[in-house]
Amino acid sequence: MQQQARFAIVGGGKMGTAIMAGLIASNAPVAKDIRAKDFIVVNPGSERRAHLQETYGVTCVEDVSQVEGCEVAVLAVKPQVLPEVLDCMARLEAFQGGIEGPLFVSVAAGITTASIEEHLEPGSRVVRAMPNMPLVIGAGATGLCAGSHAASDVAFACELFQCLGSAVVVEEGQMDAVCALSGSGPAYVARMVEAMVEASVERGLSPSLAETLAVQTVLGTAQVLDAGIYAPTTLREAVSSPGGTTLAALDAMREAGFEAAIGAGIDAADKRSKELAG
């Protein structure tokens, strides 16, 4: 049986589900009329489909061929399988129509809008988005760029992702850097917290206490920065008293290669994003 909906989420994994759930829950003007009935989720796993249907009340299907039509197709599959999925979609009437057809929004890392357009009907409107994991609680950071036929659509897509946190429109040439910074960034922060906990446990704190203090320190610092009370440099200087513990720690971190390690990580993620483009 074929199904039609405003939004087709192609890929019911963590990111696709987070986008869907966030839009359903959002009270933002652009999402105020979006309901569970407006979604159809494509996912091959029967257990996952059952979970999504039971949890969110959305319609789920096994294959894209079961989608009769949609206004927006969110491409939330792995970059490695996206070309195959696009080729399948291009053969289906539901995803044809060129500039009059659905808007394609891809969240696949590294895959350019031009590459996506090559697999679809000429004139298809494509927006590329790079969100990050905190959008699951409405605190994501997303960069978006427009394909060659979607200049008038990227603002709408940006408004949708602003329902899930912060979202900005950038040039496509900046998307690999966005991926390396905010897309992969939650893992950097989580690893830093892990390292802080490990070092504190070695000095006598219990793992649970160390994690509580570390997480709250990161959360509180982020909230202070977000509130605009301090710029990052000003905050760092404010807590770094001459001859004190913080300055000693920062000096030791710098000597151990803290800045170099962060730079190397972002550079590696940027390069990998480019490699995924093929």
Distance CA 101, CA 92 (A): 12
Is the predicted pLDDT of residue 219 greater than 60, yes or no? yes
Q: Which residues share a beta bridge with 67?
A: 3
- Residue range 109-150, pLDDT digits in tens: 889 999 999 999 999 999 999 999 999 899 999 999 999 999
pLDDT band at residue 5 under the 50/70/90 scheme: confident
**Cβ 71 vs Cβ 6: under 8 Å:** yes
**Residues whose CB is less than 8 angstroms from the CB of residue 249 and which lie 6 or more positions away in sequence, other chains included:** none
- What's the pTM value of the predicted model, to 2 decimals? 0.90
Mind giving me the DSSP string for 106-155? E--TT--HHHHHHHS-TT-EEEEEE--GGGGGT-EEEEEEE-TT-TTTHH
Q: Tell me the average pLDDT across 88-100.
A: 92
Q: Is 33 helix (H, G, I), strand (E, B) or coil?
A: coil
